[in-house]
Amino acid sequence: MNKEFMPQDTLRNNDPALPKSPVCHLRVWHSATSVEHRGEFESRCEKLLDPQELASADRFRRTTTRNQHVVGRAMARRLLGATNVAPQQIQFAAGAFGKPEVVTPPEAVLPFNIAHTDGLVLCGVANQQADLVGVDVESLDRRTSTDLAERYFAKPEIEFLRDKPADQQQYFFLRIWTLKEAFIKAIGTGLHTPLADFAFEGIDGDRPRIRFLEPGLERGKKWNFVCFQPREGFIAAAAIVAKEERSHVMVDWHPFEDLIEGCRESR
């Protein structure tokens, strides 16, 4: 499944005499993880990790958290290694606020982001036409409340939720939450950026839009957002900025298990 976005006020270029717009492509891969035990799939993923990542995984007390860490890092290595690089050769470093980035080899230096919740992990990897990328995922069973929205969300978003029927408020809360998380992960600051400093509009449409309520966040960039349900029971969002505003932005999503030999049979 995929979505394609066109820059505002830009028409598709069908004239072969004119230069084609570049394509900024984000592929979001999703993988189920075991919540209660360390399964065969997680064991296969461990083979892609380096000793330091395995040691970090073993420090998690909850099995589900350990599995999320293992699968997330394995996804990043496998997907970034699709550029004819062995997954084990990829080296990561943390950015100023802890967001992982590829250091070497140069062929694997691509915008990427990992997100996880109990039972599901996402890894989004974009091509060289992308500037910033962020993804987030939540279970639709996650408990929410209007108090939580009033504590963290911007005023326009709180009013949007209040106008929704009670049986829809949880869904739209999670839609807003994943959009916000995808944005702050894309810019690399995480929750150091207050969630009330920006608001989303068109939340119930195909093209959510961001409105900056505090100066400095916009950074002169054109943002593209998409919400989707990668699997039953989960909701996710992706944020992407292309290096060139004239780019066609495409986002699609795929099951990661198809890339790990034998995992479909072992799940």
Return the domain boundaries, the chain.
Answer: 2-8+23-266
Mean pLDDT, residues 136-157 taken together? 94
Distance CA 261, CA 156 (A): 47
What number is the average pLDDT over the span 156-164?
97
Higher pLDDT, 207 or 177: 177
Residues 185-240: pLDDT tens digits?
Answer: 999 999 899 999 999 999 999 889 999 999 888 878 999 999 999 999 999 999 99
**Cβ atoms 231, 119 nearer than 8 A:** no
Q: Which is it for the CA torsion 218, 224, 228, 231, positive or negative?
A: negative
Examine the pLDDT at 264 and tell me if it is beyond 60. Answer: no
- For residues 29-40, average pLDDT: 93
Closest CA to 208 of 184, 234, 239, 230: 239
Q: What is the DSSP letter of 195?
A: G
Average pLDDT (139-148) is 91
CA distance 202 to 77: 35
What pLDDT is recorded for position 95? Answer: 84
More confident residue, 17 or 47: 47
Average predicted confidence (pLDDT) for the chain: 89
| Residue-level pLDDT at 41 | 92
Cα separations in angstroms, 210 against 33, 138, 157: 31, 20, 11
Q: What is the CA radius of gyration of the chain?
A: 19
**Beta partners for residue 211, in sequence order:** 199
Q: For the domain bounded by 2-8+23-266, which CATH number is listed?
A: 3.90.470.20
What pLDDT is recorded for position 146? 83
Q: What is the pLDDT of residue 3?
A: 55
Q: Is 149 left (phi over 0), alpha (psi -120 to 50) or beta?
A: alpha
Cβ neighbours around 220 below 10 Å, total: 5
Q: Are 28 and 236 in contact (CB under 8 A)?
A: yes
Average pLDDT on 35-60 reads 93
pLDDT at 17: 52
26-30, 37-41, 54-58, 82-86: least confident range: 82-86
Highest mean pLDDT among 129-138, 142-151, 184-193: 129-138
Q: Are 129 and 247 in contact (CB under 8 A)?
A: yes
Closest among 125, 142, 126 to 72, alpha carbons compared: 125
In residues, how long is the chain? 267
Q: How many CB atoms lie within 10 A of CB 175?
A: 20
Residue 146 host element (H or E): helix 146-152
